[in-house]
Structure 1
Amino acid sequence: MPANDLDLLIEAARRSAEVATAFVGGDLGVQYKAVDDSPVTQADLAVNTLLTQFLREARPDYGWLSEETPDGTDRLNTKRVFIIDPIDGTRSFIQGENTWAHALAVVEDGQAIASVVYLPMMDKLYSASLGGGTHLNGDRVTASATARPDEAQVLATRPSLDAGHWPGGLPKLKRSYRPSLAYRQSLVAEGRYDAMFTFRPTWEWDIAPGALILSEAGARITDGKGAPLRFNAQVPKAEGMIAANPDLHAALMQRRL
C-alpha cells in the first residue's frame, strides 16, 4: 500500500480507470437522480465501490465525501478527508467522448493537500501535492501568464458569460468548453487555457481535486465572489469558482464587483 497520500491517489485513479473503461461501449444502465435529474451510470457506482474499499482500507481514519455516497456528518470530525468524484463528466462518458475524469483529493483542515485528476481515455494524469508543484504525466506544468481579459482564452459555460454576472462590464473573452469541471481546472493549470469559471453553486467533489492542481501550478482560485475556497464544509458546496494566474484573476474580479 502506498505510504504517501499522493501515490495512493494515483494508484486509486489507475484502478478506477480499469473499472470504468470496462463499461465503455456496453450497457451503462443510465439512471437519473431525483435530487437534480443528473445522470449516473453503473460505471460511476462501480468506481465508487472500488474507491470506497481501496481508499478507506488504506486510510481508515480519514473521512469520506463522494458524489455517489450518501453524505453524513462523521467526516466533519476527521482531520483528513477524501473528496471524490468517481467519474467527473458523466454525460461525456455516456456519449462516448473522452473528456471525463476520475477526480480525487485528500483534504486536511479545509485545504487540499494531495490531488489527482486522471482522464483514462487520453492517458492524462494530473497530480499535485501541497508544496510539490503540479505535474502532467510526471512533467511539471504551470499556469499561463496572460494578464489581460481581452487576450484570454477561457473555459466556461455560455450562462457564465451572461451580463448579469459581470456588473463591471462583460470582458471580451475567447470561450471554449469541456464537460468535466476537473478537466477544465487542469487545462488551466497546464497553461493550455488562461482561466476558467463557473458561477453556479458547485459541489466540492467537482472542484477540490482541481483546486490544488491549480494553486500548485501558480494559479489563484477562489469562489465566484473572490472568497477563499475551504473544503469539507457541513454543506459541501461553493458559490461557484474562478481560476487564473493572479494578475488575470484580479482583472476578472474587477469586472465581477
Structure 2
Amino acid sequence: MTEDETASRDWSADLALIEAAAGEAGALALSHFGQDPQVWWKNGGQSPVSAADYAANECLETILRKARPGYGWLSEESRDDLSRLEAECTFVVDPIDGTRGFLGGKTNWVVSVAVVSGSRPVAGVLVAPALGDVYTAMEGGPALCNGKPIMTSLADGESGSDPLELCLPASLAGRFDAAFSARLRRSAYIPSLAYRLALVAEGRLDGTLVRPDSHDWDLAAADIILARAGAALLDDEGKALCYNRPSVQHGTLFAGNRQLVGTLLRQFGPSRQS
C-alpha cells in the first residue's frame, strides 16, 4: 500500500475492531488485577510475564486474527512470525504494558493495540482498565481520550524561565547541561511506557525521553495517538520511527510537540559515562 493509499483509506472499521478487542482483553486482565496471578521471568530473569498477560494476549489474538486473517501479528507475548513482513497490515500488540506496575498494584497499566500499514501505525488504542480510560486515534482523525479530543502541551522549551514537566529516566537526565536541567521538573516514574506517552499526548506531561531497547509493541499505538494530538515521537536523529521491520527494537527516543522535541534534541549531550 502506497503512502497516498494509506492516507486516503478509511481506517475507522479497524479502529472500532481494535478498540472492542482491547476492551475485552482489558476486562480480562482486570479480573486478574490484585489477585496474585502466576508469574514467570523472561529475558534472563529481567522481565516478568504473568498469567494475565498470556490470557489477554490469547483474547486479542483470537478476536483480531479471526476478524482480519490476512493481517500480520506482532505481540510481546507471542513467538515472532516473520510472515508479518509480507502482510499489507499488521497488528502490533502489548497485552499488558506495564506488567511490573500491574503486579505491584499500580493502576496505570494499559492494553496497547495498533494497526501498522507499511512502516507506520494507522490506528491505535490504549485501554487503561483500572483507570477507566480509553485513548484512540487513527490516520486522518483526532486523538481522543474517552471520546473527547486531546492535544499535547505547547511548551517549546525555548523560554528560559518556563519549567518543563518531563518523565525523564535517570540514565538520560545527566545528558543535559546544568542550566537546562535546572528547568526540568521530573515527574514520578511510570511503569507503562505507552501510558507515559499517552500523558504526553494529553498534555499532562510536556514530554518524555525513552531509553534504548523499547520495542514496537510498547510504542506503535501511542505513536499514532501522539501524532494525532499534535506531538511527535522521534529518534535521536530527529526521524519518525519505522515499525514492523525484522528488528523491532529502538534506540533513545524523544516525545513532545515538535518544537519541544527539537529543543530536547539540541540540548541532549553525549553520555558522561566513561
Fold-level similarity (TM above 0.5) = yes
Q: TM (normalized to structure 2)?
A: 0.88
2:194 equivalent to 1:185: no
Q: What is aligned with 2:168? A: 156
Specify every segment of 5 or more residues in structure 2 that has no aligned partner in the other structure, as ranges: 1-10, 270-274
Q: What is aligned with 1:136? A: 145
Note the C-alpha offset of 1:46. 0.4
Note the C-alpha offset of 1:157. 1.8
Task: Pick one of 80, 90, 93 that aligns with 1:81.
Answer: 90
Note the C-alpha offset of 1:201. 2.0
- Structure 1's 249 and 168: CA in aligned 2 closer, same or farther, altered over 3 A? farther
Distance 1:253 1:24 in 2: 38
2:201 equivalent to 1:201: no
Distance 2:94 2:40 in 1: 17
Alignment: residue pair count: 254
- Structure 1's 34 and 195: CA in aligned 2 closer, same or farther, altered over 3 A? closer
Q: What is aligned with 2:237? A: 225
8 Å contact from structure 1 (residues 168, 255) kept in 2: no
Kindly provide the amino acid, as one letter, of the partner of residue 216 in structure 2: E
Compute the RMSD of aligned alpha carbons. Answer: 1.8
CA deviations 1:86-125 (Å, max 9, x no partner) are: 0000001001110110011000001100000111001110
8 Å contact from structure 2 (residues 74, 93) kept in 1: yes
Q: Percent identity?
A: 36
8 Å contact from structure 2 (residues 214, 249) kept in 1: yes
Note the C-alpha offset of 1:224. 3.3
SS state of the match for residue 103, structure 1?
strand
Task: Pick one of 195, 204, 215 that aligns with 2:227.
Answer: 215
CA deviations 1:17-38 (Å, max 9, x no partner) are: 2211111232310110044620
Distance 1:50 1:120 in 2: 15
Of stretches 168-177 and 153-162 in structure 1, the one that deviates more from structure 2 is: 168-177
8 Å contact from structure 1 (residues 76, 232) kept in 2: yes
2:261 equivalent to 1:249: yes
SS state of the match for residue 64, structure 2?
helix
8 Å contact from structure 2 (residues 34, 103) kept in 1: no
Q: TM (normalized to structure 1)?
A: 0.94
Task: Pick one of 151, 154, 175 that aligns with 2:186.
Answer: 175
8 Å contact from structure 1 (residues 142, 190) kept in 2: yes
Kindly provide the amino acid, as one letter, of the partner of residue 75 in structure 1: R
Q: What is aligned with 1:16? A: 25
- Structure 1's 27 and 201: CA in aligned 2 closer, same or farther, altered over 3 A? closer
2:71 equivalent to 1:62: yes
